[in-house]
């Protein structure tokens, strides 16, 4: 077999690289990042590993491509979660909160429905930058824009905006990790309640109306004493 011979996936001549990326993403979806190898992707497409190595120098390059595809899928899921919800009317605060909440819901839903791809997004790999370093449309940039919208409509005060994206991402990603691990056996109703309560706590925290100034100062001081 060579890279012009039709394989299991029937790719077009000259498009072997894309076929291998699709195969790698499918492998990741089924078995996570550990399942992505040159040999396995070549077998999926129906070519020899030698043909695959003409397009990817090593395993890291292929995993990087699979990771990029997984990031695109996660981004699409977050955008769709907002697009599928009913209109919020003309209230800009409701619209901004709905967008922020929908992105969180889309992130959590993707983690549950596509665990292999979700783990691949955060897998160590060659040249793919982590979401925090990406400047194009990405899950991280969607979160940044949603928080900026909350500032623009007056829900999140500018003085509370710095590094809020890291805080929100940590909470939602941590919840996704728990629901895929220690909390995986929760009933569907309890899982949904945990998600809603967590997002409400985050929403209240962004607004900054949960603690008075003295309580906020006390908690900040306590956290500042955490050992390195």
What's the count of helices (H) and strands (E) in the chain, helices before strands?
A: 10, 0
- Is the confidence at residue 130, as pLDDT, over 60? no
- Is the confidence at residue 30, as pLDDT, over 60? yes
Neighbours of 173 (CB within 10 A): 17
Structure tokens that stand for 24 in this block: 């790698």
Closest CA to 36 of 116, 102, 93: 116
- Greatest extent of the chain over all pairs of C-alpha atoms, in Å: 72
Q: For residue 135, name the pLDDT band (cuts at 50, 70, 90).
A: low
**Residue showing tokens 């001549």:** 13
- Is the confidence at residue 69, as pLDDT, over 60? yes
- Is the confidence at residue 4, as pLDDT, over 80? no
Tell me the CATH number for domain 1-56: 1.10.10
- DSSP conformational letter for 127: S
Domain boundary assignment for the chain: 1-56, 67-224
**Contact at 8 Å (CB) between 155 and 63?**
no
Angle at 77 between CA 198 and CA 28, to 5 degrees: 105
Q: For residue 3, name the pLDDT band (cuts at 50, 70, 90).
A: very low
Give Cα 20 distance to the centre of its chain.
22
Structure tokens that stand for 18 in this block: 């894309």
Burial of 108 (0-12, 13-18, 19+ CB in 10 A): buried
Q: For residue 219, name the pLDDT band (cuts at 50, 70, 90).
A: confident
Superfamily of domain 67-224: Tetracycline Repressor, domain 2 (1.10.357.10)
Q: Output the pTM of the full model.
A: 0.86
* pLDDT tens track for 92-119: 999 999 999 999 999 999 999 999 999 9
């Amino acid at each position: 077999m060579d890279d012009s011979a039709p394989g299991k996936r029937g790719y077009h001549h000259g498009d072997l690289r894309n076929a291998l990326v699709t195969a790698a993403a499918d492998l990741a979806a089924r078995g996570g990042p550990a399942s992505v190898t040159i040999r396995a992707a070549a077998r999926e497409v129906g070519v020899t590993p030698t043909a695959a190595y003409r397009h990817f120098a090593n395993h890291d390059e292929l995993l990087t491509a699979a990771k990029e595809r997984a990031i695109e899928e996660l981004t699409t899921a977050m955008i769709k979660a907002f697009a599928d919800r009913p209109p919020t009317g003309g209230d800009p605060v409701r619209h901004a909160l709905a967008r922020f909440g929908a992105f969180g819901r889309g992130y959590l839903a993707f983690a549950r429905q596509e665990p292999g791809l979700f783990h691949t997004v955060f897998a160590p790999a060659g040249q793919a930058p982590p979401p925090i370093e990406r400047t194009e449309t990405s899950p991280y940039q969607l979160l940044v824009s949603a928080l900026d919208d909350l500032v623009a409509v007056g829900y999140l005060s500018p003085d509370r905006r710095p590094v809020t994206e890291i805080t929100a991402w940590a909470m939602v990603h941590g919840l996704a990790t728990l629901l895929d691990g220690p909390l995986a056996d929760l009933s569907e109703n309890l899982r949904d309640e945990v998600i809603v309560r967590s997002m409400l706590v985050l929403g209240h925290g962004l607004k900054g109306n949960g603690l008075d100034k003295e309580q906020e100062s006390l908690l900040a001081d306590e956290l500042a004493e955490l050992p390195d």
